[in-house]
Amino acid sequence: MVDSGAVHEQLPDRGRELARSAPGRAVHFEYPDQLDPAWTPAKPEFACAANSISLLMPHMEPYFVRSIAAVLDQLDERLQGPTRWYLAQETRHHSQHKRFNAHLTARYQRLTPIENLAERVYRKLGHTRSLGFNVAFAAASETIAYSAARWSAEHRQELFAGSDPVISSLFLWHLAEEMEHKSVAWDVHRAIGGGPARYLLAAACAMVLVMFFVGSGTTVMLWAERRLFNPVAWIRLTRWAITFAFEVLPNLVMSGLPGHHPDKFTDPLWLEVWLREHDGR
């Protein structure tokens, strides 16, 4: 059996190497020095929640990259190409979010302990869990991310109306690429012999961690924006959480069933169009 901790120590730069060599979109977002982290002024609580997700990316996605890269040599030629492409996309995601997050922690200094805890938690998972579990965790997390893409596309007019165009592009680009590689980590999980039980266990763990960190980060930012005790903010957040749960939970359960493949999910057309327009610039 391969020791997961040893694998994670041996492959810290594999994702960066693949990001340089694999084809992909050249993206770079420029943020003003006086960036307003409440980038959805009509509904600032959505910015708080989205920012909390961004805060996880430089810690969660490198964990996925290390886990999937560790089994890359075990995959057949058919799957190696898409997997390299997936690893490159994930590496570009967290590098762009890291730059944005520097503005967040400068504005909300109480986010720093949450970010530090996230770094320790996801690194410890990589060091202490089996390689099979880590790959299953990545696969389940990609189902969560794909569900977020579908949910965001469905609610785009409410969520992104009047938002900062640069920051909203960061999130929409990320969501659209999650849609593109929705099946890769799942295919890797199955290719190395992963089954439904491990997938669903990892999915439950992934959901709990995301809920904890997003809840913690959102609370800190709501406090700083003086909206922590605003009933409208909590009504909106509760409604969004419920509608997202109705999107993500069925997707996770279906993804654990025998005979399922993520390609059976219907992609949101709006994100496909947005991505084509982005590529045509």
* Residue ranges in the chain assigned as alpha helix (H): 4-10, 14-21, 44-69, 77-107, 111-128, 131-154, 156-160, 165-180, 184-191, 196-224, 231-255, 269-279
Q: Which two tokens stand for residue 96?
A: 């762009």
Q: How far apart are CA 189 and CA 195, in angstroms?
A: 8
Q: How confident is the model at residue 79 (pLDDT cuts 50, 70, 90)?
A: very high
Domain spans, the chain: 40-279
Using an 8 Å Cβ cutoff, are 196 and 257 in contact?
yes
Q: What percent of the chain has pLDDT over 90?
A: 81
- Residues 18-62: tens digit of each pLDDT: 544 445 666 778 888 888 999 999 999 999 999 999 999 999 999
DSSP 8-state secondary structure symbol assigned to residue 263: G
> CA nearest 140: which of 90, 83, 183?
183
Q: What percent of the chain has pLDDT over 70?
A: 90
pLDDT at 19: 45
Q: How far apart are CA 65 and CA 13, in angstroms?
A: 9
- Residues 154-163: tens digit of each pLDDT: 999 999 999 9
